[in-house]
């Protein structure tokens, strides 16, 4: 599983990155997690607002910081596919 946090380097983006990392630790899952700050790469995902979560190449959230319960749900749903 590959998870990307799209952001401009702002505190909210870093907060989301930490929430994703902590959620994965809680779930005892190993996944590649990367912060993407490159504007061209971010624009390739067609997101309208940041921060955003991309799991396995699919945009799952944008413009908000979901809580851990919501992040877990996104991860579980993507793992089931």
SS3 62: strand
H helix runs in the chain, sequence order: 11-27, 39-43, 68-80
| Domains of the chain from N-terminus onward | 2-80 (3.40.30.10)
pTM: predicted TM-score of the whole model, two decimal places: 0.92
Q: pLDDT (tens digit, 9 = 90+) per residue, 10-69?
A: 999 999 999 999 999 999 998 899 999 999 999 999 999 999 999 999 999 999 999 999
Taking 3-state DSSP, the helix, strand and coil percentages for the chain, each rounded to the nearest 5, stand at: 45, 25, 35
- How far is the C-alpha of 47 from the C-alpha of 38, rounded, in Å? 13
Q: pLDDT (tens digit, 9 = 90+) per residue, 55-66?
A: 999 999 999 999
- How far is the C-alpha of 12 from the C-alpha of 10, rounded, in Å? 5
């Amino acid at each position: 599983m590959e998870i990307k946090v799209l952001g401009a380097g702002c505190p909210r983006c870093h907060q989301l990155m930490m929430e994703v990392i902590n959620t994965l630790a809680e779930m005892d899952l190993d996944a590649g997690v990367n912060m993407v700050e490159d504007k061209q790469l971010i624009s390739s995902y067609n997101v309208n607002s940041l921060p955003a979560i991309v799991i396995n190449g699919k945009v799952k959230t944008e413009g908000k910081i979901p809580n851990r319960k919501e992040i877990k749900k996104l991860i579980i749903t993507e793992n089931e596919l």
